[in-house]
Copies of this chain bind each other. A is one copy, B any other.
């Protein structure tokens, strides 16, 4: 059998709401458009993104496997099958960079286990943009995803993050389901110490992008931004 060119699992970014032109480097765009085997978090948004990159993209010649929080580990080897045959497989998240804040890491872990090459590509990440724009410590930080839903637990988490931040000089990043953002922001402002710095970074890379860092005490005196249903990253440093 002749040696096939080495295929790789390619971690492709997609937009986070902003323009493609500001989100995806040209070379990365070309790599995505050459790929015909995808593992996607959401088929509809993946199709829309590919068509937005190139309206002539041949969706009909394209294989898509679905990977979301309901996917089981034993389904993954099948998703990587094209790699065995020497064809690249690309992962596309619903938003931003795959395998960060989504189930993509499962596939990447399997690729390492099987010895396949893994190639990450540059694109937008709401938590990275938020960290850059926050002015908070970017030398030590921790990302926690979503905090617990239950109110008591949420208070405990926020207090814990505040203590961790002080003890370790570490910026703490976390999120909320977008339709609860307004309530969550009010809750944060009630819970944290007045001297703690809070950054609210909302709809980054979009036209109504909003980012502001103040102490909790200053936030309490300010009219709160309209972040309802807008993807938002919250950052604190105490």
Chain A residues within CB distance 8 Å of chain B: 11, 19-28, 97-102, 104-112, 118-125, 128-145, 170, 204-205, 209, 211-214
The answer to whether A23 and B25 touch across the interface, beta carbons within 8 angstroms, is yes
Distance from A12 Cβ to chain B, minimum over Cβ atoms (Å): 10
CB-defined contacts of A125 to chain B, threshold 8 Å: 122, 125, 128
Q: Which 5 A-B pairs have the closest CB atoms?
A: A109-B135, A108-B135, A22-B27, A142-B142, A21-B27
The answer to whether B21 and A105 touch across the interface, beta carbons within 8 angstroms, is no
CB-defined contacts of A141 to chain B, threshold 8 Å: 142-143
29 contacts between A and B (CB under 8 A): A11-B133, A22-B25, A22-B27, A22-B121, A23-B122, A25-B25, A25-B26, A26-B26, A98-B132, A99-B131, A100-B131, A100-B132, A102-B138, A104-B132, A105-B137, A105-B139, A108-B213, A110-B135, A112-B212, A112-B213, A118-B133, A118-B211, A120-B204, A122-B123, A122-B124, A128-B128, A140-B144, A140-B145, A142-B143
The answer to whether B108 and A133 touch across the interface, beta carbons within 8 angstroms, is yes
User: How far is A132 from B13 in the complex, measured between Cα atoms in Å?
Assistant: 10
Distance from A201 Cβ to chain B, minimum over Cβ atoms (Å): 8
Copies in the assembly, this chain: 2
User: How far is A120 from B134 in the complex, measured between Cα atoms in Å?
Assistant: 9
Distance from A159 Cβ to chain B, minimum over Cβ atoms (Å): 16
Distance from A74 Cβ to chain B, minimum over Cβ atoms (Å): 17
Distance from A137 Cβ to chain B, minimum over Cβ atoms (Å): 6
Distance from A116 Cβ to chain B, minimum over Cβ atoms (Å): 11
The answer to whether A132 and B99 touch across the interface, beta carbons within 8 angstroms, is yes
The listed residue (B107, B129, B209) touching A122 by CB distance below 8 A is: B129
The answer to whether A205 and B101 touch across the interface, beta carbons within 8 angstroms, is no
CB-defined contacts of A121 to chain B, threshold 8 Å: 22, 129
User: How far is A92 from B22 in the complex, measured between Cα atoms in Å?
Assistant: 17
